[in-house]
Structure 1
Amino acid sequence: MTILIPNDDRHSAEAPSTKEVIAATRDWLEKAVIGLNLCPFAKSVHVKKQIRYAVSDASDREELLNDLISELEHLRDTSPEKIDTTMLVHPWILRDFLDYNDFLNVADSALEALGLVGHIQIASFHPDYQFADAEPDSIDNFTNRSPYPILHLLREESIDRAVKAFPDASDIFERNIETMQRLGHDGWLALGIGKTLPE
């Protein structure tokens, strides 16, 4: 599958390579999202290799927006059997969660400009993800915490099919919170998928 290759001379020698970024993202998907069953729909597309991992080299919002538009168009123009969903990972920008959260409005505007509202939606994952009503260190936040900032592009049709196949889909959020509360911070740390943002 095609990925956006970072320009290595922008970053320090200790910075993770594209392969390492993707490996960490896959590890998180397998151990947390699938392993803890946070998303009952993820295992199927993972097993079928229908997830595209695109690593953006963006160092400013304009570059990230261009990469997002490119990935949205690529997903739109590609058969779901080949690529069902895309994870656009951007390690070098929006590392502050509030900045990332603000950018989601820009991402939604891009969806609208491309006429993709109702066809594709964007889910959000970040190393410092925080729900509006949660404390920063609350374990509840960890349902959406990933090794790197991610804009997850999902096909609405795939979501609709998955929801029909999963009768209690409306209970997923509450069930995930319960899972995280049972797991606790020590349990999460034991998974070995903590923050990996480069310095």
Structure 2
Amino acid sequence: MAGYDANALPPGAGEVLESTRRWVEKAVIGLNLCPFAKSVYVREQVRFEYSDATTPEQLLEHLGEELLRLRDTPASHTDTTLLVHPHVLQDFMDYNDFLDEADALVETLELDGILQVASFHPDYQFADSRPDDIENFSNRSPYPTLHLLREESIDRAVEAYPEPDPIVERNYETLRRLGHEGWRRLFEDDAAS
């Protein structure tokens, strides 16, 4: 399985990755925020990787390792990686600035056009939105997370959905119907355990 080995993780890391896995199941797949996520998830082709980085430099190094690992691993084993980093870039603006460094690393490793990095954060905020706008929740994860994607997987998704705008609008409508209270209830079972 591309998931993770809870026995090989530092203390607390298993809980962080399990919380991220539940978010993928309940929000990303459960609300169909990404219509492409379910197929790779059920085929166990999603790698959940914990980073104990405490500085952006350490995270950049770990990101480089994961980019190369994804490049060198057959898509049939790992199609995508979620690099969860709970101890660094907690501030969304710092995280957002770091994304430029992540993109530069992709180019430095000559992976431009092969892999790309997408972003999720607990305080994700789209430009020109207010912090509490429910639409921001389409990119809100339990912990700061870098999503490593294969360009060929994105190309297949674009073939299936050549016009992504309806997906975005459908997501916003789903989140508006759900509202903040519905989003909170989505994860109520998690808070009780």
TM-score by length of 2: 0.91
Paired residue for 1:11? none
Paired residue for 1:118? 113
1:163-187 deviation line (CA, Å, top 9, x unaligned)? 2123553421121111111110011
In 2, the alpha carbon distance for the partners of 1:129 and 1:60 equals 20
- Match status 1:104 vs 2:74: no
| Distance apart, 1:6 and its partner CA | 6.0
Q: Partner of 1:173: helix, strand, or coil?
A: helix
In 2, the alpha carbon distance for the partners of 1:60 and 1:101 equals 15
In 2, the alpha carbon distance for the partners of 1:30 and 1:99 equals 27
Alignment of 1:77-96 (within 5 A): 77-96=72-91
Paired residue for 2:15? 20
- Match status 1:44 vs 2:39: yes
Deviation larger for 40-49 or 172-181: 172-181
| Distance apart, 1:42 and its partner CA | 0.1
RMSD: 2.1
Alignment of 1:161-172 (within 5 A): 161-166=156-161, 168-172=163-167
Paired residue for 2:142? 147
Q: Given residue 30 of structure 1, which amino acid in structure 2 is its aligned partner? A: E
Q: Which of these residues, 123, 127, 151, is aligned with residue 128 of structure 1? A: 123
Paired-residue identity, %: 59
Paired residue for 1:186? 181
Unaligned runs of 5+ in 2: none
Identify if the C-alpha distance between structure 1 residues 83 and 66 changes in structure 2 by more than 3 Å, giving closer, same or farther.
Answer: same
In 1, the alpha carbon distance for the partners of 2:34 and 2:10 equals 33
TM-score by length of 1: 0.88
In 2, the alpha carbon distance for the partners of 1:137 and 1:40 equals 24
Q: Partner of 1:72: helix, strand, or coil?
A: helix
Q: Partner of 2:118: helix, strand, or coil?
A: strand
In 1, the alpha carbon distance for the partners of 2:39 and 2:165 equals 19
Q: Given residue 181 of structure 1, which amino acid in structure 2 is its aligned partner? A: R
In 2, the alpha carbon distance for the partners of 1:146 and 1:61 equals 19
Paired residue for 2:62? 67
In 2, the alpha carbon distance for the partners of 1:47 and 1:59 equals 32
1:131-159 deviation line (CA, Å, top 9, x unaligned)? 01100011110000000000000001011
| Distance apart, 1:89 and its partner CA | 0.3
Identify if the C-alpha distance between structure 1 residues 104 and 3 changes in structure 2 by more than 3 Å, giving closer, same or farther.
Answer: farther
- Runs of 4+ in structure 1 off by over 3 angstroms are 1-8, 166-170
In 2, the alpha carbon distance for the partners of 1:131 and 1:72 equals 25
In 1, the alpha carbon distance for the partners of 2:5 and 2:146 equals 14
Q: Given residue 185 of structure 2, which amino acid in structure 1 is its aligned partner? A: A
Unaligned runs of 5+ in 1: 9-16
